[in-house]
């Protein structure tokens, strides 16, 4: 008996996929092990996805036959005009209020530990985005599930974002990643390593070598 292949569809993100996106991040990265007393780790990842969405204009996902998210790419336009930038800031404000409400309800467990983790996240994010003004866009969140890797879905998501950048007359994009991530994908795609940095909270943080990487990609306008 033949086993039918699972079909996947690339589509635009909508709010109904928020939890599914968070589950994909949860199954890919470990952001929760440092927290203490958290009853539902998904709250941590929902908050993270909302943060990535705040400044992302390009939002694309891959879903399977069960309408579960198996891949995603959220990308920004760094200089998107006063009105659009204001919308992003308002969205970010609402996310901050959402985070504060979860913190107050104890959803992040021990509050002191949660504050320390949030401060670390902000510090590392600042290191990764220190030179963001030099680029026209950023890949804010990019994940492809393990079962889709090696099947060109990651390339398709990145191709779609690059095409979006071309339409919006953008000349360059960047992203930052760290040692434990599959950063070789970016090199195969054509990204160039722009700079590196070190932070004790990232993989091999106790060693002196850099463990954070900033990559850039030049958009070729046709």
Show the domains of the chain with their CATH numbers. Answer: 9-218 (3.40.630.30)
DSSP bridge pairs for 9: 63
The pLDDT, as a whole number, for residue 80 is: 83
Segment 89-104 shows an average pLDDT of 95
DSSP per-residue string spanning 109-123: SSHHHHHHHHHHHHH
Residues in Cβ contact with 137 at an 8 Å cutoff, skipping those fewer than 6 apart: 75, 76, 77, 78, 161, 165, 170, 172, 173, 174
What φ, ψ does residue 206 adopt, rounded to 5°? -80, -15
Cβ atoms of 128 and 50 within 8 Å: the answer is: no
* Per-residue confidence band for 193, with pLDDT thresholds at 50, 70 and 90: very high
Cβ atoms of 21 and 49 within 8 Å: the answer is: yes
- d(CA 186, CA 183) in angstroms, rounded, equals 6
Given a cut of 50, whether residue 3 has pLDDT beyond it is no
Residues in Cβ contact with 114 at an 8 Å cutoff, skipping those fewer than 6 apart: 35, 103, 108
Helix, coil or strand: residue 176: strand
Segment 184-210 shows an average pLDDT of 95
Instruction: Give me the helices (H) in 9-69, please.
Output: 18-28, 42-54
10-67 residue pLDDT tens: 999 999 999 999 999 999 999 999 999 999 999 999 999 999 999 999 999 999 999 9
* Per-residue confidence band for 74, with pLDDT thresholds at 50, 70 and 90: very high
- d(CA 70, CA 144) in angstroms, rounded, equals 6
Given a cut of 70, whether residue 1 has pLDDT beyond it is no
114-149 residue pLDDT tens: 999 999 999 999 999 999 999 999 999 999 999 998
For strand 137-144 and strand 172-178, is the pairing parallel, antiparallel, or unpaired? parallel
* Per-residue confidence band for 222, with pLDDT thresholds at 50, 70 and 90: low
């Amino acid at each position: 008996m033949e086993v039918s292949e699972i079909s996947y569809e690339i589509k635009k993100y909508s709010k109904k996929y928020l939890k599914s996106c968070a589950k994909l991040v949860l199954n890919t990265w470990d952001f929760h092990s440092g927290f203490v007393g958290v009853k539902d780790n998904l709250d941590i990842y929902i908050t993270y996805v909302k943060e990535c969405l705040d400044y992302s204009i390009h939002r694309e996902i891959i879903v399977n036959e069960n309408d579960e998210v198996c891949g995603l790419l959220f990308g920004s336009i760094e200089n998107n005009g006063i009105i659009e930038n204001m919308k992003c800031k308002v969205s970010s404000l609402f996310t901050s209020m959402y985070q504060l409400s979860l913190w107050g309800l104890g959803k992040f467990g021990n509050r002191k530990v949660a504050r320390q983790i949030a401060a670390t996240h902000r510090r590392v994010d600042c290191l990764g985005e220190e030179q963001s003004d030099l680029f026209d866009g950023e890949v804010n969140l990019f994940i492809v599930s393990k079962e889709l890797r090696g099947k060109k879905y990651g390339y398709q998501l990145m191709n779609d974002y690059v095409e979006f950048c071309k339409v919006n007359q953008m000349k360059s994009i960047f992203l930052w990643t760290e040692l434990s991530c599959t950063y070789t994908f970016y090199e195969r795609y054509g990204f160039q390593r722009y700079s590196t940095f070190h932070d004790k909270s990232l993989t091999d943080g106790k060693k002196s070598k850099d463990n954070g990487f900033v990559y850039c990609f030049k958009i070729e306008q046709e």
